[in-house]
């Protein structure tokens, strides 16, 4: 495991540096637009659960009203959420709001691939079995949970109580997916997940991951 951790960290650092060089024009453009629009906030730092269940602050572009966690549905964001700013909506749909997490990877608090780091409130809703294992490796910018629930806001908008939908439907299956990752973690698995991440951006309805990744937990009925 020590070797795996060291090797994964080296790969993460290399990929993050390459991504920073390639994507820096997009980062700069987004920063300028955010400075000139909305509430003129560029970055949003939110406490999330990280490696070995130790909290850290995740970097994101600011896409919502200030103090949004204390307004409406709190940490849960639904489709057409009124707290999301106009340019923020574009950033969220294109996933460009996640770009600043490159800095998290460079700092070592995140990996390129891993379980998505949840807010503390969400993490505490996991079963003890999931909480014990999910962050045995650093959380990731992308992962199997992010691929399957790439349009989580859509599912959260399908009922009157988004918090119940998240707790009763999304979170249990997401936990199973993240445990699958911990049991199948390898360089090859990470490469497949990175390729699939780009694939579902181009083909949002694709379910190639169920064919390409072996023994994924069965898809629940509400995802059919």
Q: What pLDDT, in 10s, does the model give residues 78-110?
A: 677 788 888 888 888 888 899 999 999 999 999
Give me the percent of the chain exceeding a pLDDT of 90. Answer: 59
Residue-wise pLDDT for 169-219, tens only, equals: 889 999 999 999 999 999 999 999 999 999 998 888 899 999 999 899 998
108-132 average pLDDT score: 94
Cα separation of 174 and 7, whole Å?
26
Structure tokens given for 148: 């399957």
Confidence (pTM): 0.87
**Domain edges within the chain:** 2-223
Q: For residue 224, what pLDDT is reported?
A: 65
Structure tokens given for 109: 């608090």
Say yes or no to pLDDT of 159 above 90. no
The CA-CA-CA angle for residues 83, 140, 173, to 5°, reads 75
Cα separation of 9 and 148, whole Å?
25
Cα separation of 125 and 75, whole Å?
13
Better-scored residue on pLDDT, 52 or 93: 52
Say yes or no to pLDDT of 72 above 60. yes
Alpha carbon distance, N-terminus to C-terminus of the chain: 36
Say yes or no to pLDDT of 3 above 80. no
Structure tokens given for 34: 């955010």
């Amino acid at each position: 495991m020590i070797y795996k951790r060291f090797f994964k960290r080296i790969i993460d650092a290399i990929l993050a540096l390459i991504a920073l060089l390639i994507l820096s024009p997009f980062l700069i453009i987004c920063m300028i637009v955010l400075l000139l629009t909305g509430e003129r906030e560029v970055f949003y730092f939110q406490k999330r659960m990280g490696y070995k269940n130790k909290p850290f602050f995740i970097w994101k572009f600011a896409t919502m009203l200030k103090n949004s966690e204390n307004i409406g549905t709190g940490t849960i964001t639904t489709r057409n959420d009124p707290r999301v700013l106009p340019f923020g909506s574009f950033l969220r749909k294109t996933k460009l709001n996640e770009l600043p997490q490159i800095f998290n990877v460079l700092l070592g608090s995140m990996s390129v691939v891993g379980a998505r780091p949840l807010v503390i409130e969400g993490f505490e809703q996991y079963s003890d079995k999931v909480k014990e294992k999910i962050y045995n490796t650093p959380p990731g910018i992308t992962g199997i949970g992010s691929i399957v629930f790439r349009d989580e806001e859509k599912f959260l908008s399908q009922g009157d109580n988004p918090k119940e939908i998240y707790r009763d439907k999304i979170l249990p299956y997401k936990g199973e997916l993240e445990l699958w990752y911990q049991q199948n973690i390898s360089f090859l698995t990470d490469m497949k997940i990175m390729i699939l991440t780009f694939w579902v951006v181009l083909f949002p309805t694709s379910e190639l991951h169920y064919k390409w990744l072996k023994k994924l937990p069965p898809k629940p009925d509400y995802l059919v």
